[in-house]
Structures are given as C-alpha cells and as structure tokens.
Amino acid sequence: MSTFVINPHGRLHEWIAHEKGYFQQTGLTDYQLNAHSLLTKDATKQQVSKGESIDNKQGAYQTYEQGRDASISCACHWTVNMAAAASHGNLWGECYSVSPCAIMVPDTSSITKAEHLADVNIHVGYQSGSHYTTIQALEPILPAQNIKLVFGGTPADRIDQILDGVAPAVTVFGPQLYMLEQLGFRKIIDCTFMIAAMIPEGVATPQVQAYYEALRLAQADIDQQHQSYVHYYKNELPERHAELVDVRRFGPGERIVFEPYTKSMYERTQAWVQERGIFDTHIETPMDYNNAVLRVG
C-alpha cells in the first residue's frame, strides 16, 4: 500500500491523532500529514477594493474535477455527493461530520436579523459548503430571488473581505467562525452543515478504516477536553489571521458522527442541489448510491 496522504481541513482531529500516535495504533503507519494548505495556513491575501466586482468560481467542486493530491479529503456533503455522482471518487459512507457555521456581519452593521439580509451581498465560496448552506438556512425566511450571493473565494479570502469592509456579510465555518465571533462580529443566523469525505480511486479501504478509527479516538479526546488541543487551530489559520485572535478561546469545531451516510441522504441531496440549479448542467448519468458511496459494513 502507498503512503496515505492527509490534507488538513480546518479541524483538530488529524493533529491530535498525529500527536498521540493514534494513526500508528490503528495500523496506519505509512502516512503523510501535510502541515500546509492553500485553503488554510498558506492562503495568501487577495487584494480586493471596496465596490470591486467579485466572482470567484473556483470552489470545492472544481478541486475535485481537477483532482486533489490526497488519499482522503473533505468538503461539504453537497459537493462530495455531486463529485461522487460524477465519478470523481467515492464518498466515504461510514461516517460524516458536522461543522458550526453562520452568516456574520460587522458589529456596526444595521443588519440584526435574517430578514435584513434580503438583497444584501453575502460572500460565500462557489459550490462549497458556505454556498449551499446559506441557501438552506435562508430559504425558510427569504424568497429565493432576495438571497444574493457573491462568490468571494476561500474561507481566508472571505475573512479578508469582511475585515477590509469589502463584504457586508460572509458565511464562515470552523476556525473562521470562531475568529469573527471573538473579534466582535455579529452572528445573524446559524448555518451548521454536514461534511463528507472523498476517497480517490486506488486508495486501500483498510487504510481509510484505520484513519477513521484514529479520528474516532481523537473525537473522544475533543469531547472530553477540547481546550487541550485548540492550539492546533494555529496550524489552520494564515499568520495574518492567527495573530488577531487567541485560539485558546475557540470551541471544539467540527464533530465527526460515526453513523452511515445513507442512500436516502445521498438521493435527497442530489435532488436538493438539482432543484435549485446550483450546477449549470446536470450530470447526465449520475452514479447510483451503491457505486458512488463506499461502504464496508
């Protein structure tokens, strides 16, 4: 079996499993945990001026189309679902995770409730978790034509945009959410959402099982005392952002749920995305659940 390559995803689990030897304990002895990622630690600042048009349509789905250099990677379940249906890999069906997320505005904003977001530009990532979850959260409150999304790029890009006054509102999750909360930004509506994992072709299933068994041990540590591990958020934030906050005040973040991603979840998600026209074209012959989702039970 080849080296199992792990890219970070803004959460604590992999760092804990590495620190405490859980990967070796569960049999994943040949692995590589990348300490840097263009979506997190190494995200450079994109200079955007106030009033400048932004339409960054390079999001999570596009990275799966292009191919991610990892043996396992995570994204919102909508994107992983659609990518698996298009044969870009297999959705890991033995578990999923849930991440805190919210639409945030500056404390000086006149926006104090979700209804005030009507026709306001909300900066999200294109075909990424923030894109779908913003729609899902606001649909019960606002007509679809009044939900205005701006595709602002990565989570780090959106932090820069709201700090610089370019974005009137942003949808952020995980450490970026904790960051804005600590800096006094106002939470308008919760957008907590589900995350799934993608397994590319050729990765050995026993390696994935060992990986997740290690993360199960890490999840127990987080549940018991997350404060011992929040320093790892510094590995996930660009230095320009990390220096603005005290990560010791951050919460536990993403939580892995060791329950299956079911056929019903898969099919309902496909229908939800298609009904809202989030993709310009439909997948002509999407993979069915048994072929798109990898189960071992």
**Domain annotation covers residue 287:** no
CATH of the domain at 47: 3.40.190.290
Could you tell me what percent of the chain has a pLDDT over 70? 95
pLDDT of residue 42: 61
Residue in the structure block whose two tokens are 């919102």: 76
What are 64's two structure tokens? 């799966």
**Domain annotation covers residue 235:** yes
The string of pLDDT tens digits covering residues 21-75 is: 999 999 999 999 987 654 565 667 777 767 667 878 888 889 998 888 899 999 9
The string of pLDDT tens digits covering residues 104-136 is: 999 999 999 999 999 999 999 999 999 999 999
| Of residues 276 and 297, more confidently modeled | 276
What are 20's two structure tokens? 């405490």
Helix (H) or strand (E) holding 147: none
Long-range CB contacts (within 8 A, 24+) of 113-116: 113/188, 114/138, 114/141, 114/142, 114/188, 114/189, 115/141, 115/142, 116/188
Q: Say which residues have a Cβ less than 8 Å from residue 108's Cβ, sequence separation at least 6.
A: none
**Domain annotation covers residue 68:** yes
Number of folded domains that form the chain: 1
Rg of the chain in Å (alpha carbons): 19
**Domain annotation covers residue 288:** no
**Domain annotation covers residue 291:** no
**Domain annotation covers residue 289:** no
pLDDT of residue 152: 95
Q: 152, 167 in Cβ contact below 8 A? A: yes
Q: Looking at residues 260-272, what average pLDDT do you find?
A: 96
For 238, the domain range is 4-281
The string of pLDDT tens digits covering residues 205-214 is: 999 999 999 9
**Domain annotation covers residue 293:** no
**Domain annotation covers residue 19:** yes
